Chains A and B, each alone.
Chain A
Amino acid sequence: MALIELRGVDFSYSEMETPVLKNINLTVEAGEFVSIIGGNGSGKSTLAKLLNVLLVPSAGEVIVDGMNTADEENWLKIRQKVGMVFQNPDNQLVATRVEDDVAFGPENLGIPSPEIRKRVDKALEAVGMEKFKDNPPHNLSGGQKQRVAIAGVIAMEPECIVLDEPTAMLDPQGRKEVMETIHFLNKEKGITIIHITHFMEETVGADRVIVMNQGSIHKSGLPLEIFREIDDLKKLGLDVPLVVELAHELRKKGVEIPAILSINELVDSLCS
């Protein structure tokens, strides 16, 4: 059974307005790393909120681990299974101390104190922030704050984490930290990752890339397949990684290069 399934989902914020999402059909299997990309207003953030029952579809249904999000009784269970990390690192940390923030989710779930202790320590270790457990969050760097936010979700022992543009407000160092962390969680801890971003180069390690445009799924496939059609992506207002564009231009000049995604691959294919 699929972990998450969207069937014919429409969403609009009010009846008057044009729908933000139109007939979305999507299945995510347990253990997958799915990247969702799209320009501003493509509906990707709205999609994220549907998975965590922060929004409920106007039509169609969202099924998480067999539970329908339309049923209010399932909400807490679904939110525990599918955790969410947001864009602004400052606006999602609740407590005045790192470990208390990580404990916030488990506390809400009513987990006994000694068990919370264990989970908090484990979660902080998984994101490499155990040294900062007594710090106040506002003294941390952007990347560190996001890692604490991720730890806060992990402490709820979810099966899936949805990250809504987690690196958009970070510097290159912070972006690297967050990307490494989520790939680590996917590979080593088997957590399903749904990563929403507008940086196309961040989708490189994903199992599957979904391109959103104007509320619909424009296409979906392996990163290599998606990157092949550069002009199409540019039309959607997306940033194509420079190395992919360079390879594309070289091909036009008659240089034979296979499909590549990274600098390493380009250099190897040119100088093998």
Chain B
Amino acid sequence: MLIELKNVSHIYDDDLKGTEALKDINLRISDQEFIGLVGHTGSGKSTLVQMLNGLIKPSSGSVIIDGVNITGEKTSLLGIRRKIGLVFQYPEHQLFEETVYGDVAFGPRNLGLSEEEVELRVKEALELVGLDYEEFKDRSPFNLSGGQQRKVAIAGVLAMKPEVLILDEPSAGLDPQGRQQLISLLEYLYNNKGMTIILVSHRMEEIARLSNRVIVMSEGEIVFDDSPARVFSEVEKIRELGLDLPEITEILWRLNGKGLRVRTDIFSLAEAVEEISRELRGSSKC
């Protein structure tokens, strides 16, 4: 499935100053991509992801999803929302049903699926997020822990079987263990289910480690759109935008600046340890 944005601009109706939340955005997203979307609060990234889901229509330009221009009057947005799943920040705040089953089934039921198909999907979605179907299906989502609630909410989107999954700060407020589980889920969905993932996050380490394409936004424009290694080598520019570098990148760059010739395109701790210790042995310190 191909997502295409052509000359997309957007101004919110209630914005009296008329600032453009998005300025002339051109973007292509193809199958099997893992995209990290980063930028300051107010950089336009939430507007952008909501547009991909048809929740916001652009003021000008067109959004074409799977060959269909969704900016047209008559397009079925339900079809779009089935193909593109969107997990908002703190998704557990949208839980409303009496049972976990009911809540996860909300999406599939809106798609008009048969009850057998709905059950199948609820089962599958709960198992994907690591919640035992029998144990959890009849429990009230409001009696679960915060981490479990988050999982139920994500299952609710996965049960729609989207081809593209967009997540806005999915790990915010989770403990290290919860965060690790979430990362494994995203890796699984990407590698084994062939989904395209768009991850919006402030955690640059996550972005650098997981994604194969990083899009950096600032003031409604796309500033960078490249591989993580290339984007995070633009150290000065990233800092200028007030964004953080992945911590490992930051360390490797600083060492480099002090004369220790380490590679700077490494994003995993183990590799960084290897690289630094190898380099230290080669030359006697810096």
Q: Which residues of A contact B (CB under 8 A)?
A: 39-40, 141-142, 168-169, 171-173, 198, 234, 237-239, 241-243, 245-246, 249-250, 253-255, 263, 266-267, 270-272
Q: How far is the CB of A133 from chain B (nearest CB, A)?
A: 21
| A39 and B41 contact, Cβ closer than 8 Å, known pairs A242-B248, A249-B269, A270-B285 | no
Bound CA span A243–B259, Å: 19
Q: How far is the CB of A123 from chain B (nearest CB, A)?
A: 25
Of all A-B residue pairs in the complex, the 3 with the closest CB atoms, nearest first, are A271-B286, A271-B258, A253-B277
Neighbouring B residues of A234 by C-beta, 8 Å: 176
The answer, yes or no, to whether B263 is at the interface (CB within 8 Å) is no
Q: 16 A-B residue contacts at CB 8 Å?
A: A40-B146, A141-B41, A142-B41, A173-B41, A242-B205, A242-B247, A246-B269, A253-B277, A255-B276, A263-B247, A267-B251, A267-B254, A270-B255, A271-B255, A271-B258, A272-B285
The answer, yes or no, to whether B113 is at the interface (CB within 8 Å) is no
- Asked if B269 and A267 make an inter-chain contact with CB atoms under 8 angstroms apart, the answer reads no
Q: How far is the CB of A10 from chain B (nearest CB, A)?
A: 24
| A270 and B286 contact, Cβ closer than 8 Å, known pairs A246-B248, A250-B273, A263-B250 | yes
Question: CB-nearest residue of chain A relative to B277?
Answer: A253
Cβ 8 A contact of B176, one of A142, A239, A250, A266: A239
Q: How far is the CB of B19 from chain A (nearest CB, A)?
A: 14
| A254 and B250 contact, Cβ closer than 8 Å, known pairs A173-B242, A246-B269, A271-B259 | no
Cβ 8 A contact of B251, one of A142, A237, A238, A263: A263
Q: How far is the CB of B40 from chain A (nearest CB, A)?
A: 7
Neighbouring B residues of A171 by C-beta, 8 Å: 40-41, 202
Interface string of B194-224 (1 = CB under 8 A from A): 0000000010010000000000000000000
Q: How far is the CB of B92 from chain A (nearest CB, A)?
A: 13
- Asked if A246 and B175 make an inter-chain contact with CB atoms under 8 angstroms apart, the answer reads no
Neighbouring A residues of B146 by C-beta, 8 Å: 40
CB neighbors of A among B241-280 (8 A)? 242, 244, 247-248, 250-251, 254-255, 258-260, 269-270, 272-273, 276-277, 280
Bound CA span A171–B147, Å: 19
CB neighbors of A among B134-161 (8 A)? 145-147
The answer, yes or no, to whether B177 is at the interface (CB within 8 Å) is yes
Cβ 8 A contact of B276, one of A40, A172, A237, A250: A250
- Asked if B273 and A237 make an inter-chain contact with CB atoms under 8 angstroms apart, the answer reads no
Neighbouring A residues of B72 by C-beta, 8 Å: none
- Asked if B280 and A242 make an inter-chain contact with CB atoms under 8 angstroms apart, the answer reads no
Interface string of B51-89 (1 = CB under 8 A from A): 000000000000000000000000000000000000000
